[in-house]
């Protein structure tokens, strides 16, 4: 039965919390100076990458080198790709409507309200969701079949995220598609290929930490929390509430899976009245 060093785990957990907090505080300073708090969305991926690098550095001498490298590289690639994509998507834009509405309800100083309810909350979520990464780098055994399966799942999720984001960006860049609903490529199989990909990424990283029942139990909360955020929290539910009034979205929703990919349903043809 594989066990991780308790002292090293406490150190990694504490340092990871510090890394996530540092990224968020720096981002808060940037957002406050610019008056735009949507920059925190870029910091989300950067904070995960920072946690992974700090965990990798502190796990030297405790975890297996191959597992440490694979988990760290997977997290950094995912986090930085997401950060670059969000930065490009929001470049030159104003405040995100979600944050504008949130700050409009603020009592007292809006910046301090944003610090508490946006930056510090997201920093805490980064730390919690990345628990499998923090634990996996301390596992002393080489990658096993479960961990390899997790990396395959991670790769599949990364494909869904990256391909879905690329397809949507190309669709929006075409002026002929202005006002239309994206229903092509992966978006014809699921209304949220990027969120589904995120879902696979974090269940895959969770499997890399499942070297024993103790490590599996310790880190299970992480993919469960991420899944809840994607499906019921700030992901799918919030976006669909925003899209509900768009022309054509009801038809798109009727024929396209809400999360798990599947072939699109055929449109229902109206029945002709019988001639008597």
Handedness of CA 234, 238, 240, 243 (dihedral sign): negative
Contacts of 135 (CB under 8 A, 6+ apart): 4, 9, 209, 215, 218, 219
The per-residue pLDDT for 236 is 66
Cα dist from 52 to 47, 60, 210, 260, whole Å: 9, 13, 17, 28
Mean pLDDT of 246-257: 83
* Among 195, 18, 56, 189, CA closest to 133: 56
Helices 40-58, 65-90: inter-axial angle, 10-degree rounding:
170
For 130-209, where are the alpha helices, taking DSSP H only?
Answer: 131-136, 145-173, 193-208
* Beta carbons of 157 and 123 less than 8 angstroms apart: no
The per-residue pLDDT for 269 is 52
Does the pLDDT value for residue 209 go beyond 50? yes
d(CA 169, CA 165): 6
* Among 44, 57, 71, CA closest to 16: 57
187: left (phi over 0), alpha (psi -120 to 50) or beta: alpha
Mean pLDDT of 199-218: 96
* Among 243, 43, 208, CA closest to 125: 43
* Beta carbons of 105 and 114 less than 8 angstroms apart: no
The per-residue pLDDT for 244 is 67
Does the pLDDT value for residue 270 go beyond 80? no
For the chain, the 3-state helix, strand and coil shares in percent, each to the nearest 5, are 70, 0, 30
Which residue has better confidence, 232 or 223? 223
* Beta carbons of 47 and 19 less than 8 angstroms apart: yes
d(CA 129, CA 223): 7
| Tens of pLDDT, residues 63-84 | 999 999 999 999 999 999 999 9
Classified as helix, coil or strand, 143 is: coil
Q: Please give the model's pTM, rounded to 2 decimal places.
A: 0.89
| Tens of pLDDT, residues 155-200 | 999 999 999 999 999 998 889 888 888 889 999 999 889 999 999 9
């Amino acid at each position: 039965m594989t066990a991780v060093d308790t002292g090293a785990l406490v150190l990694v957990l504490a340092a990871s919390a510090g890394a996530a907090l540092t990224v968020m505080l720096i981002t808060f300073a940037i957002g406050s100076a610019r008056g735009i708090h949507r920059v925190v969305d870029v910091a989300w991926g950067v904070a995960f990458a920072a946690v992974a690098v700090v965990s990798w550095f502190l796990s030297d001498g405790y975890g297996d080198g191959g597992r440490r490298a694979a988990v760290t590289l997977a997290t950094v690639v995912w986090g930085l790709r997401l950060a670059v994509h969000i930065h490009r998507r929001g470049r030159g834009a104003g405040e995100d409507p979600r944050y504008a509405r949130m700050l409009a309800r603020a009592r007292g100083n809006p910046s301090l309200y944003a610090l508490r309810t946006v930056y510090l909350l997201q920093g805490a979520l980064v730390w919690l969701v990345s628990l499998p990464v923090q634990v996996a780098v301390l596992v002393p055994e080489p990658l096993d079949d479960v961990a390899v399966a997790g990396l395959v799942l991670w790769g599949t999720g990364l494909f869904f995220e990256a391909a879905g984001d690329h397809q949507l960006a190309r669709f929006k860049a075409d002026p002929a598609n202005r006002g239309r609903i994206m229903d092509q490529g992966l978006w014809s199989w699921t209304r949220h290929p990027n969120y589904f990909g995120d879902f696979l990424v974090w269940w895959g990283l969770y499997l890399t930490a499942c070297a024993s029942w103790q490590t599996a139990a310790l880190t299970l909360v992480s993919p469960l929390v991420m899944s809840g955020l994607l499906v019921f929290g700030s992901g799918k539910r919030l976006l669909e509430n925003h899209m509900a009034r768009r022309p054509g979205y009801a038809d798109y929703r009727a024929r396209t899976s809400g999360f798990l990919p599947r072939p699109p349903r055929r449109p229902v043809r109206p029945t002709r009245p019988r001639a008597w």
